[in-house]
Amino acid sequence: MSDIPKYLWHHLAEEDVFEALKSNHHEGLSAQEVEERLSLFGENTISSQSPVSPVTRFLLQFHNPLIYILLVATTVTFFLQEYVDSGVIFGVVMINAIIGYLQEAKAEEAINSLKKMMSSSARVIRDGEKTTVPATQLVPGDIVQLASGDKVPADMRLFKNRDLQVDESALTGESVAAQKKRAALEKDTVLADRVNMAFAGTLVTYGSGMGVVSATGDDTETGKIAHMISETVSLDTPLTQKIHAFSRILLYVIMGLAAVTFVVGLMHGHDWVETFMAAVALAVAAIPEGLPAVITITLAIGVRRMAIRNAIVRKLPAVETLGSTTIICSDKTGTLTENQMTVQKVFAGDQEYYLTGSGYNPEGKVSKTDDEPLKELPEGLRTCLLAGLINNDSELIEEEGNWKVRGDPTEGALIASALKAKLDKNALFKDCKRLDAIPFESDRQYMATLHKYDDSNNVIVLKGSLERTLIRCRNAQDQNGNLIELDRHKVTEMADKFAAKGLRVLCFAIQKVPADEETFDRFRHEENAEQLTFVGLQAMMDPPRKEAIGAVETCQKAGIAVKMITGDHALTAQAIAQQIGIKTLDRDGEERRVLTGRELSEMSDHEILKAVETVSVFARVAPEQKLKLVTALQAKKHVVAMTGDGVNDAPALKKADIGVAMGIAGTEVAKEAADMVLTDDNFATIEGAVEEGRNVFDNLVKFITWILPTNLGQGMVIMVAVLLGTTLPVEPVQALWLNMTTAVFLGLMLAFEPREPGIMMRMPREPDSPILNTEIIVRIFSVSTLLLIGAFGLFQWALIQGENEEVARTLAVTLFVVVQSLFLFNCRSLTVSLFQTPAFSNLWVWGGVGAMLLAQLAFIYTPLMNLLFKSAPLGLYHWGIMLAYGLVVLVLVEIEKGIWRAHKAKQSKHQESG
């Protein structure tokens, strides 16, 4: 056999499947066939990518325009024989590289995690004998047995099925276990609806079955996801894109100014060596050596703050990315919802009831709709809840304060609903001992159990779909447990009402039989056998997280669109979206339609690009379609955050600008593909992360606004000196002192600035917008010009006063320090007045100014520093002049901020009136 054709296995008839796979459902494969196929298809494992070596990963930390600038500065200062300065700058480069390496050193382990999802062993039939083999040795055509508790070892087409139910939530997003069938399906059936297939890595929760392996390893649905993850290109974050662009512009400007300085100096007849050194001094002065380090440290501070708020960031730039997010694409199951089925409505005794609480926690109240909790349980309601409790093969367990279901999620919800009504499970199980059972089968659509009732009677309890259960009923119970006429129309209406809200409805009925009837031998299975008494409906759903409702509202107020992308059914997805508050109405108030995976598969790329802007809820979506939706939104220039917890979310998590995985319920695959992991699985944590991300970006802009006037001012001072043919007011080594000390002691303190009021009330930044807007650019040039005037003027004044060059240069350098120290307070808010900003909300600023003052005093007054940096002591009146000039700059900046505020207020008023 040379190859096995690629078929749509769910679409073929069973006999065609066996023929295509050249297998036999009685004998299985022979040992020789297994050996041949193993050599042809390889082991049933998922291929791994070659990992990036630690050395390569470390070297990639230097692949950044800003780092190039620092390396140029290192080289230049080395050739200037300023070895200490060269070493300091190179030290900054190394610190940046080490921090980045440590943050990203954890290898991408998504594919390895997918490997772990494969079952360790499998029960197969080979050569007509039942045997157990390692799952890695499975090949297409193998006959595999499945039973409750098994992890499916490979993709397979089912040909035997006894009440088989499989939890596929990690793969499809479906919150309820899939009930498997054997019949062939339509060719275009989406992955989540392929009920005649079992997929690798999913979990059998109930029943048993047999299947023939159709795909192994990389060819399984799980393997395809692994392939998508490996092929998905992780995009640069908006911050890294903007910093790269900003750094390139800065590099060109600095090199251009240095070149102009050199050419103009030669045109003035200056010595070329002296002119070249002046150009080098300009370049060194204008390079913001502290910028990469401060950016890294600011992001690291954001990481620490997010960790306190239950968000673990795996990649530094991801901190800021959430702040620039325009759309959050969220999975439903386990992210916006509890991932625990919960009974919310009960219809019993001709009365509707409401149950509080969520998940499997048995704490909650039972009440008539919109009424106070019931003080006494009506007999009709008690019978309905009792039916759900004893017609049940599952159990609830409490582990570390969390309630979980052992068995079927639907049955777990029924147990919880009965316990909320204070039914005594242990006593009832003892009194209502089970005698016999008819397991659930998809063809019958019901499960029946037979129990002891009293000395005269036993009781049959039937649980199933409305259609298959109601047709078997002849009467009903009222609130007091008395028999009444069955109103089929009202029951059907009530079930439709529940279903319209996205609730899954189960119907319950009972029949008393003589005490000697202890088996189902006399039970009539015909649909027209009207022998039962209808006792009620229980309607359940995987409920939305309460905290997610507020988080979605806050995000939408902040201008961030929230879209639900789920593998669950359309009706359920729409109901959850409405409950959570995801905007499902268009501008005209019309309900936006839910787009399904089948509809997406029939749409062109152009149609998808149009749909992603208008549709808020996508249901029955396959993993590759999630990836396509994220890609389409990015093509529309959106910054996309994708949240999820399942294997099916992993490719989209990696492709998104920021992937956010759930830490508790999330699969390892999702966590490794994500940029950030929420340790509390709380969608509301994303709101805090967005807030923190916006604050990180604000603080970075504040730092850039603060640092650039220092570099630009120094460059302008040196350029003007060359143009005028005068002595340089700032030596290269002094420029390095200024750049490094002020960045660390002053600029870095802005990273600790708290969030400004209203940070979540403003719209997201436009993805294409530059880091610095017009207002900030004007401020940078204004302050740079003031620094030029002050430093150059003070230098020339000192020389006129008869001071030596060392004193004059020390004055110029110290003026930069004084002005930048005061300008730091201006930069604590780029829009709000300094006098309206709480003075002590950031004590780090005061500490930084104090540290900078001590460092500058050492620079001026200690002999060693005088020798190293060619500085000299200053008099008290020098300090008075510099402080006065600094205060003038501070006031002028505040006046400029006021002018901009007035201009914006006028624009806003004009827009409102227009």
Could you list the active site residues?
331
How far is it, in rounded angstroms, from Cα 520 to Cα 511? 12
Beta bridge partners of 179: 165
How far is it, in rounded angstroms, from Cα 368 to Cα 370? 6
Rg (CA), the chain: 36
- CB-CB contact of 243 with 294 (8 Å): no
CA 687 to chain CA mean position, Å: 11
How far is it, in rounded angstroms, from Cα 125 to Cα 133? 10
How far is it, in rounded angstroms, from Cα 825 to Cα 834? 7
- Among 787, 892, 897, 778, smallest CA distance to 837 is for 897
Helix axes 409-420, 379-390, angle to 10 degrees: 140
How far is it, in rounded angstroms, from Cα 858 to Cα 502? 72
Q: Strand 561-565 to strand 617-619: parallel, antiparallel, or no bridges (unpaired)?
A: parallel
- CB-CB contact of 907 with 775 (8 Å): no
Written as one string, the DSSP assignment of 437-475 is: EEEEETTTTEEEEEEE-SSSEEEEEEEE-HHHHHTTEEE
Written as one string, the DSSP assignment of 506-543 is: EEEEEEEEETT--SSTT----TT---EEEEEEEEEE-P
Beta bridge partners of 460: 450, 511
How far is it, in rounded angstroms, from Cα 456 to Cα 863? 108
Helix axes 843-861, 732-745, angle to 10 degrees: 150
Q: Hey, CA dihedral for 842, 845, 851, 853, is it positive or negative?
A: negative
Q: Which runs of consecutive H residues, i.e. helices, occur in 801-870?
A: 805-826, 843-861, 863-869
- CB-CB contact of 55 with 175 (8 Å): no
DSSP letter assigned to residue 323 = G
Q: How many CB atoms lie within 10 A of CB 789?
A: 16
Which amino acid would we find at residue 386? Answer: L
Biggest CA pair distance of the chain: 122
- CB-CB contact of 718 with 278 (8 Å): yes
Q: Which residues contact 159 (CB under 8 A, 6 or more apart)?
A: 14, 17, 18, 25, 182, 210, 211, 212
Written as one string, the DSSP assignment of 56-101 is: HHHHGGG-SHHHHHHHHHHHHHHHTT-HHHHHHHHHHHHHHHHHHH
- CB-CB contact of 49 with 111 (8 Å): yes
DSSP letter assigned to residue 209 = E
Q: How many CB atoms lie within 10 A of CB 303?
A: 21
Degrees (nearest 5) of the Cα angle 251, 256, 257?
A: 105
Phi, psi of 329 (to 5 degrees): -95, 115
Q: Which residues contact 908 (CB under 8 A, 6 or more apart)?
A: none
How far is it, in rounded angstroms, from Cα 446 to Cα 532? 13
- Among 402, 389, 390, 393, smallest CA distance to 360 is for 402
How far is it, in rounded angstroms, from Cα 781 to Cα 157? 70
